[in-house]
Amino acid sequence: MNYEFSESFARELDAQDPLAHFRNRFHFPKVNGKEAIYFCGNSLGLQPKSAKDYLAKELSNWADLAVDGHFHGEDAWYHIRKKSKPALAEILGAQEHEVVAMNNLSVNLHLLMVSFYRPTKERYKIIVEAGAFPSDQYMLETQVKFHGLDPATTLVELKPRPGEHTLRTEDIISEIKKQGNSLAMVNMAGIQYYTGQLFDIQAITKAAHEVGAVAGFDLAHAAGNAVLKLHDWDVDFATWCSYKYMNSGPGNVSGIFVHERYAERPDLPRFAGWWGHDEGERFKMEKGFVPMYGADGWQLANSNVLALAAHQASLDIFQEAGIENLRKKSEKLTGYLEYLIEEISGKSGVLEIITPKNPAERGCQLSLLIHRGGKAVFDEFYKHGVVGDWRNPNVIRLAPTPLYNSYLDVFLFAKILEQSLDKFA
């Protein structure tokens, strides 16, 4: 793609964009009284305008039906978990019975590790990328300790080669091979939150299986961003959150994926609750846990209906837009941002993009090191209405999302960035 640094070029791309109209389906925040250029969907996705109606509907059901809402009509709360499955299956590349929306991400990863991290004397190590999201670091550390092991000798952290910012797939694979029989689990991000690197989930999973380990992924930054094929890639388990690229509202419900081959494995240890129990028998209120088929068997508690309503508002938009279409636009949109940043930084080298250049190795987010001016530049462009994300000591993360960002957003951002650098860098 040949890009141009001009407003008319950006407007032309918007005019040709078949997904451009989805922008109007979202509320944009204001910064200093002006509609923001919002590049922070990697942290909190925007609110679909329809979310209010979806929530209002469940509030009326609650008002009008009260307890009868559990079994009333098509959207009876007793079965409400089923509603999000078709969209989640598309977004994650899964069968419907392999996914279910429940809890929050950090809760789910613990629950999944209860089933899938079963260290033995010989096989106990966990491979994770160095600098994983803090919640993931705490989860792994405490799981390891829970099994009476020492994190220092159990967690194997993968670091980029000296002078590089991201991991090479070949290095990940060779570490998996090296750990061999001592490796119990690979537990990595799908897309790394800091660098924006999209890992080769399929290759990593295959390598883990070849040494007899399981592979699980935290897809917080990948779900709704990259095209995923969890079933075909043979991933053992995964979890994600819905409030980043899935636009479902602050702290809203997470989801899990458990591969079909575990669908009928009641012997797998798990921490159970009544909502994971055979739903035909649930109200017998009897002893003896019998897990439901598939991912549903990992549920603990009855569904958070209001949360699921907001989630569904966004999932319906995803289904309408299509994840493959979104991805196609995303590559072009992020490519445009990359081009403009490189033009602006030029030979001065003030900005350095650390996210991989190859679109197959990234989602929509670009992470940049800013070598001069630092936070003052970031604050300046915030003042002019750009919402991005700052990470100490000098990383700016920008995530133009294909659902609601335009090429014009990217162009206008670039102009503001240019001015901010002139002022402070």
Give me the residues that bind ligand PLP (CB under 6 A), please.
Answer: 104-106, 133, 135-136, 189, 193, 218, 220-221, 241
**Cβ at position 22, least distance to ligand PLP in Å:** 23
Nearer to ligand PLP, 135 or 394 (CB): 135
Residue 26 annotated as lining a ligand binding site: no
CB of 129 to ligand PLP, least distance (A): 10
- Between strands 37-38 and 30-31, the pairing is unpaired
Rounded to whole angstroms, the Cα distance separating 242 from 97 reads 18
C-beta separation of 329 from 225 below 8 A: no
| Nearer CB in complex with ligand PLP: 200/218 | 218
What is the nearest approach in angstroms of ligand PLP to the Cβ of residue 189?
Answer: 5
218 annotated among ligand-binding-site residues: yes
247 is an annotated ligand-binding site residue: no
Pairing, β 214-218 against β 237-241:
parallel
List, as own/partner pairs, every contact residues 413-417 make where C-beta atoms lie below 8 angstroms and the sequence separation is at least 24, other chains included.
413/37, 413/39, 413/337, 413/340, 413/381, 413/386, 414/5, 414/337, 414/340, 414/341, 414/343, 414/344, 416/37, 416/381, 416/384, 416/385, 416/386, 417/340, 417/341, 417/344, 417/377, 417/381, 417/386
Q: What are phi and psi of 362, to 5 degrees?
A: -155, 165
Cβ-based nearer residue to ligand PLP, 255 or 373: 255
CB of 349 to ligand PLP, least distance (A): 29
Taking the complex as a whole, the smallest distance from the CB of residue 223 to ligand PLP amounts, in Å, to 10
Q: Is 167 annotated as a binding residue?
A: no
| Residue nearer to ligand PLP on the CB measure, 17 or 141 | 141
**Is residue 62 part of an annotated ligand binding site?**
no
136 has binding-site annotation: yes
345 is in an annotated binding site: no
- Residue 256 φ then ψ, to 5°: -125, 155
End-to-end CA distance of the chain: 30
Nearer to ligand PLP, 25 or 397 (CB): 397
Q: Which residues are annotated as a binding site?
A: 105-106, 133-136, 218, 221, 243, 274, 302
* Residue positions forming the annotated binding site for pyridoxal 5'-phosphate: 105-106, 133-136, 218, 221, 243, 274, 302
